Amino acid sequence: MTISVDHLTKRFGGFTALDDISLTIPDGKLTALLGPSGSGKTTLLRCIAGLERANGGTITIDGVVSEAASPAERGVGFVFQHYALFRHMTVAENIAFGLEVRPKESRPSKEAISAKVCKLLELVQLDWASGRLPHQLSGGQRQRIALARALAVEPKYLLLDEPFGALDAQVRKELRRWLRRLHDEVHITTILVTHDQEEALEVADQVVVFNGGKVEQVGTPEDVYHAPATPFVHQFLGTVNVLSREGVHTYVRPHDVSLSHTADDDHPLVATIVAINAAGPVVRVDLRYADTSLEAVIPHAERARLELVAGGTVHIGFSRSAKFDPTPDYAI
């Protein structure tokens, strides 16, 4: 029971959305496809769902090459960014839709369908909303209904296309934690498309970083955050300082910049303090080293101990950094 993608290519006119992608989706896990808009992540998801036909390559689902299979035959449930609920149907009718449209032989009885709808409404914690129309619900509630509707047909795979993209930040945070808990309960193989790195790192078991129709890196959230394979991944996942010296680019995360009063082996460079922002859980220090602006993040206690003031100088070093040859062909 796996999905594997082999040398998949998809073009829209002159634009290559997927450029020879190969990928395996682990069974029972939550995989995030992460990348900026236009990087091909949604296109890959739609190809897996059968909503889009690739120009080359194959998608194998459970050992079957699924070139001509309809979305329903692939056993995938799809959740859209803008919910795509049926506006004229109640919440219960929406959830029941996938069962109601089955041919008579395989359609469950009316009682079985309504029991199933009840169970799903409980699962998404909206049992009170059964008779409501979609427009009477909030965005987050609508997306939970869309999820219940997708789960009603008991798909083997759940595909989520930017499911929280249309929601405001607070709801988004709550919902993705809820999604993670839900996944731990039902263990359905899930692919989540997102451009929000925080979201991907928080909910996924495996993260696939996309850029320009290609896969940049596949790994656990920790892998891709702490050991980025490419400059792009480094820049896309969190803030990063880039120092250019002697033809080599050094990438340093702000919390890996350490500050000291004295010069030593760990703090070989001297930087000027441009500004200090202490409003928040950590202190952000803007530095200037040679011609480069740097950002350091330190605990409040550290700031007090070092008695940092704007305009002063400080010795800096990098507790962790990555070096790459300059590659001009990426951008954020």
Partner 1 sequence: MHFRSHSVLPGFGPTLGITVLYLSLIVLIPLGALVLKTSELTWTVFWSTVTDPRVLASYRLSFGAAAIAALINAVFGVIVAWVLVRYRFPGKALIDALVDLPFALPTAVAGIALTALYAPNGWLGQLLTPLGIKVAYDWKGVVVALTFIGLPFVVRTVQPILEELGKDVEEAAVSLGANRWQTITRVILPELWPAILTGFALAFARAVGEYGSVVFISGNLPMKTEITPLLIITKLEQYEYAQATAIAVVMLVVSFILLLLINLLQHWISRRRA
In the block, tokens 């001509």 appear at: 68
- Could you tell me which stretch among 9-17, 22-30, 77-85, 245-253 binds partner 1 (CB under 8 A)? 77-85
The terminus-to-terminus CA distance of the chain in angstroms comes to 36
Query: Of the two residues 80 and 232, which places its CB atom closer to partner 1 in the complex?
Result: 80
Alpha-carbon gap, residue 94 to 144, rounded angstroms: 12
Decide: is 232 part of the binding site for partner 1 (CB under 8 A).
no
- Of positions 47, 78, 164, 195, contacts partner 1 by CB under 8 A: 78
Which residue in 25, 44, 49, 120 binds partner 1 (CB under 8 A)?
A: 49
Should residue 84 be labelled a site residue for partner 1 when binding is judged by CB under 8 A? yes
- Report which DSSP code applies to 13: T
Question: Is residue 133 close enough to count as binding partner 1 by CB under 8 A?
Answer: yes
The CA distance from 321 to 114, in Å, is 57
Q: Quick one: which of 118, 153, 166, 306 contacts partner 1 (CB under 8 A)?
A: 153
Position 135 contacts partner 1 (CB under 8 A):
yes
263 lies in the binding site for partner 1 (CB under 8 A)? no
Our finding on whether 59 is near partner 1 (CB under 8 A) is: no
For partner 1, give the closer residue by CB, 53 or 82.
82
Q: Which residues contact 252 (CB under 8 A, 6 or more apart)?
A: 240, 241, 243, 294, 318, 320, 321, 322
Question: If we measure between CA atoms, which residue out of 170, 150, 167, 168 comes closest to residue 159?
Answer: 150
The 3-state DSSP class for residue 260 equals strand
Which of 82, 177, 187, 305 touches partner 1 (CB under 8 A)? 82
> Where do we find the tokens 């590659």?
327
Q: Could you count the other beta carbons within 10 Å of the beta carbon of residue 263? A: 13
By C-beta, is 134 or 213 nearer to partner 1? 134
Q: Does 123 interact with partner 1 (rule: CB under 8 A)?
A: no
Is residue 260 a contact partner of residue 315, using CB atoms and an 8 Å limit?
yes
Residues near partner 1 (CB under 8 A): 49-51, 70-72, 76-78, 80-82, 84-88, 97-98, 101-102, 133, 135, 146, 149-150, 152-153
